[in-house]
Amino acid sequence: NVEPRSVPVFPWHSLVPFLEPSQSG
Amino acid sequence: PPSSTAAPSSLPPYFIKGSIIQLADGELKRVEDLRTEDFIQSAEISSELKIDSSTVERIEGSQTSANFAVVQFSVGEHRSQVSVEVLLEYPFFVFGQGWSSCCPDRTTQLLELPCSKLSVGDVCISLTLKNLK
């Protein structure tokens, strides 16, 4: 018996690092 | 001095080969099938996020753990210096090339994600806020 399983779906922006420039002033 | 971002000690699940990724237009793709255009088009649709070009300036071993590397980027048009400490197998997406990490053998072994060697001069995709002032 094969039961359907929910497959997680991830948003595209999860895969990209959020590189925030250092604040200067 | 460049800022530093703490990194988690294990990779998130969405980098595992076969993970389903939803683009901004709703299309679903496997993580290993993502292309540069997918990120660019998704960012164009996004009202909050903007893609920046982040050039790898330096890659060093971490002084805190042998499993980590410190990658220094030059981010965006202002070339802001940003350093991140990441696991050696952490994959970045390089423009026109695809997934790349400091240790692609580990990435492939742990995630089965096809991966190239991240090198100085590579231009990675990163995100910033569109309304960042």
Enter the ipTM.
Answer: 0.86
How far apart are the C-alpha atoms of B85 and B72, rounded to whole Å? 9
Q: Among B46, B49, B73, whose Cβ lies nearest the Cβ of A19?
A: B73
Chain B residue numbers with beta carbons less than 8 Å from the beta carbon of A15 are: 14-15, 21, 31, 34, 93
Does residue B87 have a pLDDT over 80?
Answer: yes
**pLDDT, tens digit, 9 for 90 and up, residues B53-74:** 999 999 999 888 899 999 999 9
What percent of chain B is predicted at pLDDT more than 90? 82
Q: What is the pLDDT of residue B31?
A: 98
B80 and chain A in contact, CB less than 8 A: yes
CA geometry: angle A22, A23, A24, nearest 5 deg: 115
Task: Please give the pLDDT value at position A5.
Answer: 75
Beta bridge partners of B23: none
Report the side by side order of strands in the sheet with B80-87: B3-5, B80-87, B68-75, B49-61, B123-129, B92-94, B98-101, B116-117
User: Cβ of B20 and A10 within 8 Å?
Assistant: yes
Q: Which of A6-20, B6-20, B25-39 has the lowest mean pLDDT?
A: B6-20
d(CA B91, CA B93): 7
The pLDDT tens digits of the residues spanning B99-122 come to 999 999 999 999 999 999 999 999
Give the pLDDT score at A17. Answer: 94
